[in-house]
Amino acid sequence: MVIVIQCKDGVGLVAAISSVLANAGFNIVSMREHVDLQESRFFARIVVDKISDPQNIEMAITKVLAPDAVVKVDPLPEKKIVVLVTKEHHCLSDILTRNHFKTLGASVQCVIGNHPDLMSITERFGIPFHLVSHENKSKENYESELMDKILGYMPDYLILAKFMRVLSADFIASFKLKIINIHHSFLPAFTGANPYRQALKRGVKIIGATAHFVTDDLDEGPIITQKTISVNHSFVLADLIKAGRENETAALAKAMQLVFEDRVFVYDNKTVVFE
C-alpha cells in the first residue's frame, strides 16, 4: 500500500507518522522524504506491507500533521486516462502498445482526436476513438464538445500526446494538475511553436523534450521529467525532428510512469519527484 503526504514541515514528523503506522501494525517497506527548507514543506512517499483500512489510516496520519496536510492512502493502483491527439503517431503508438501489454500503469479509456488520422491505429488496439473536430467551431463550442466526451469516461488524467491545440484556462481548471503534456523542447528554452526550427537556427548542441503538467501559462506548468540528446552541426531540420520524436516518446512514458505510481508532488509550480 502506498501513502503520499505533503504538509508544512515540523520537528518529529517522520517519528509521528512511523508511530501511527507501527500502532496500526504496518511495516514500512520503503520511505522517501524531502524537506524544502525555503518553503518549509515536507513531502513523503511511503510503501507499507499490507492493505488494510486506508480511510482510518489516512485519518490517523492527518491528525498528527499540520492542518494543511494532504494525505492519500492507497491511491488507485491503476489510473484511467483519456489520450488527446492530433496527427503525430509516435507518442500515441507507444501508449497503445504499453496499454496492450499491461505495462502502462494505467488503462486507456479512449483516444480523442481533432483529426481522423490516428483513428485506424487506435481501433486496431481495440480502443474507442472519438473525432472531435475544431474546424468551423468557436473555441468555447469545441471545448464543450470535447469536455462532454471526456467526462463520459471519468478519467483520472488527460494525456496530451502531441495534441497541438492550446486549451483555455477554464478547461484546464476543470482538470487541475490532471493534464500531462509533452513539449518538444528542453523548457524553458524554445517555448511555443516550431521549437526544432528555433533550435536549428540557434545552433544548439543538445535538444530535449519536456513532460509537464498543463496550466494556463503556456508551456510553463510544473515539470515532471526532461530528456535530452546530443546533436551537431550536420543535423538538418528533418534530423532534429526524427531524433526529437524518440526523445518525446521516452520523456512522456517516463512522466506517466512517475505520475501513475504516485511519485510526483507539486507545490508552487515546482515538483518533487521520488524516482
Catalytically active residues are 219
Outline where 1-138 has alpha helix (H): 13-23, 54-63, 90-100, 119-124
Q: How far apart are CA 106 and CA 252, in angstroms?
A: 14
Instruction: Report residue 205: phi and psi, to 5°.
Output: -110, -5
Residues 265, 45: Cα–Cα separation, whole Å: 9
Beta bridge mates, 80: 107
Single-letter code of the amino acid located at 225 = T
Residue spans of alpha helices (H) in 68-112? 90-100
Cα gap 228→116, rounded to integer Å: 31
Q: Cα 122 to the chain's mean position, in Å?
A: 21
Question: What's the rounded Cα separation, in Å, for the pair 185 and 182?
Answer: 9
